[in-house]
Amino acid sequence: MSGTKKGNVVLSGMRATGRIHLGNYFGAIKNWVDLQDHYDCHYCVADWHALTTDYADTGDIAANALEAVADWLAVGLDPERCVIFVQSWVPEHAELHLLLSMITPLGWLERVPTYKEQIQQLKKRDLSNYGFLGYPVLQTADILLYRAHFVPVGEDQASHLELSREITRRFNGLYGPVFPEPKALFTPTPKVPGLDGRKMSKSYANAIDIADTPEEIRRKCSSMFTDPTRIRRSDPGHPETCNLFAFHRLVSPPDVQERVERECRLAQIGCVDDKKLLAEQLIEFLTPMRERREALLANRDELMDILRDGSKRARERARETMDEVRSAMSLDYGGNGKGLSG
Ligand code: TRP
């Protein structure tokens, strides 16, 4: 494989659940953009992972995958500098998932904290399925298929990554050292709050999307929670605990941040005016991204070409890995084991 920067491979993925919000951007994708020039980066639209919870309603998955990729490109992922691909277009993910499922004890999967939490939280769906339990095994296949050294993820993925490392050790112990042990690269950004101060999340309906129009941004900002201890306009505010200020820190230029911080503490600016100011800062920050995503989605053929090309490149590496895996597991039938597909 040519073009390996510093010899280190990065793999990350995101479930194909549609347009991304500021929490996805600051919590993950911005970091993906920054890593492009330092590693040999592979980014996966995990459409099969979306099926683990949305299996009963698959109609939106393809459109969601395309919207997500349009957002990724709009915020700065560059198909010339990284490999962007669709999980289901590289069927080797399924083969490696199957092989890894043979060596993964049920107890390891049942212990993953997100497993029980999700079953509790998504009560409306029956998640007592084989595929849902195996979510982290599929994720491990995503990582190992590219023999990745580093996996940029948020803290919420720590338990999945730990499990991936355990499965890797088990594979290498049984069949020989095929895979490097993947290490998490935790994203150095703080949690992005939502409009209501809880973590920004699609399922809480408290998100600001990259695709939001100026009108939507103004409407959302006007409904934002602010410093709860600032009751009257004349009360001094506390930027360090105010939800609004958390957003200024992310998107406003330093001089605006300094002014808001000072005026808020002195009760010179009120929350309503601050919301208006923040809306304009967000609009300035997001408009170029939104325009780029619109242009990309208006030209689907080009978007599909980018994904086809990325998936082809991903598949080349995936096939090399599977040759090594089959050989390590004595499934290569004496070197003739590419079967009919080779
Ligand atoms: N499980 C990850 C999430 O929910 C998405 C994901 C799928 C992923 N495959 C991956 C992350 C491989 C890192 C590596 O965000």
How large is the angle between the packed helices 92-103 and 135-144, nearest 10 degrees?
A: 120
CA angle 51, 54, 56 (to 5 degrees): 105
What tens digit of pLDDT does each residue of 10-55 get?
Answer: 999 999 889 999 999 998 999 999 999 999 999 999 999 999 988 9
For a pLDDT cut of 70, what percent of the chain falls above it? 96
Q: Whose CA is nearest to atom 15 of ligand 1?
A: 14
249-277 pLDDT per residue, tens = 999 999 999 999 999 999 999 999 999 99
Mutation pick for ligand 1 pocket among 112, 157, 179 (CB with most ligand atoms within 8 Å): 157
Could you give the residue range(s) of every CATH 3.40.50.620 domain in the chain?
Answer: 2-192+299-341
pTM for this one?
Answer: 0.93
Q: Domain 2-192+299-341 has what CATH class?
A: alpha beta
Closest CA to 242 of 267, 217, 216, 219: 267
Q: Is the pLDDT of residue 118 over 90?
A: no
Q: What is the pLDDT of residue 338?
A: 62
Domain(s) of CATH 1.10.240.10: residues in the chain = 212-295
Phi, psi of 50 (to 5 degrees): -65, -30
What does the pLDDT read at residue 126?
A: 86
Strand (E) or helix (H) holding 36: none
Residue of the CA atom closest to atom 11 of ligand 1: 13
pLDDT at 116: 87
Residue nearest to atom 8 of ligand 1 (CA): 13
Is 224 in a helix, a strand, or coil? coil
Question: Which of 142, 147, 149 best tests ligand 1's pocket when mutated (most atoms within 8 Å of CB)?
Answer: 142
| Contact between residue 246 and residue 22 where contact means Cβ atoms under 8 Å apart | no
Percent of the chain with pLDDT over 90: 83
Which phi and psi (to 5°) does residue 102 adopt? -70, -30
| pLDDT score of 342 more than 70 | no
326/323 Cα distance (integer angstroms): 5
Whether the Cβ atoms of residue 43 and residue 72 lie closer than 8 Å to each other = yes
| pLDDT at position 117 | 86
CB-ligand 1 contact for 144 (6 Å cutoff): no
Ligand 1 in reach of 93 Cβ (< 6 A): no
pLDDT per residue as tens digits for the range 181-226: 999 998 777 679 999 999 999 888 999 999 999 999 999 999 999 9
pLDDT at residue 137 is higher than 50: yes
pLDDT score of 341: 55
Q: Give yes or no for residue 23 CB within 6 A of ligand 1.
A: no
Cα of 237 vs its chain's centroid, Å: 34
Number of H helices, E strands in the chain: 15, 5
Q: How confident is the model at residue 336 (pLDDT cuts 50, 70, 90)?
A: confident
DSSP of 149-190: SEEEE-GGGHHHHHHHHHHHHHHHHHH-S-S---EEEE--SP
Predicted local distance difference test score (pLDDT) of residue 2? 41
Q: How confident is the model at residue 160 (pLDDT cuts 50, 70, 90)?
A: very high
The average pLDDT across 113-137 equals 89
pLDDT band at 1 (very low <50, low <70, confident <90, very high): very low
Q: Is residue 82's pLDDT more than 70?
A: yes
Return the pLDDT at 272: 95
- The residue whose CB lies within 8 Å of the most ligand 1 atoms, and thus the one to mutate among 24, 31, 44, 163, is 44
3 pLDDT more than 50: no
d(CA 196, CA 206) in angstroms, rounded, equals 6
Residue-wise burial string across 207-231, b where 16 or more C-beta atoms lie within 10 A, e elsewhere: bbbbbbeeeebbebbeebbbbeebe
At residue 131, does pLDDT exceed 90?
yes
Nearest-10 crossing angle of helices 92-103, 300-328? 40
49 CB under 6 A from ligand 1?
yes
Q: What is 212-295's CATH superfamily?
A: Tyrosyl-Transfer RNA Synthetase (1.10.240.10)
CB of 143 within 6 A of ligand 1: the answer is: yes
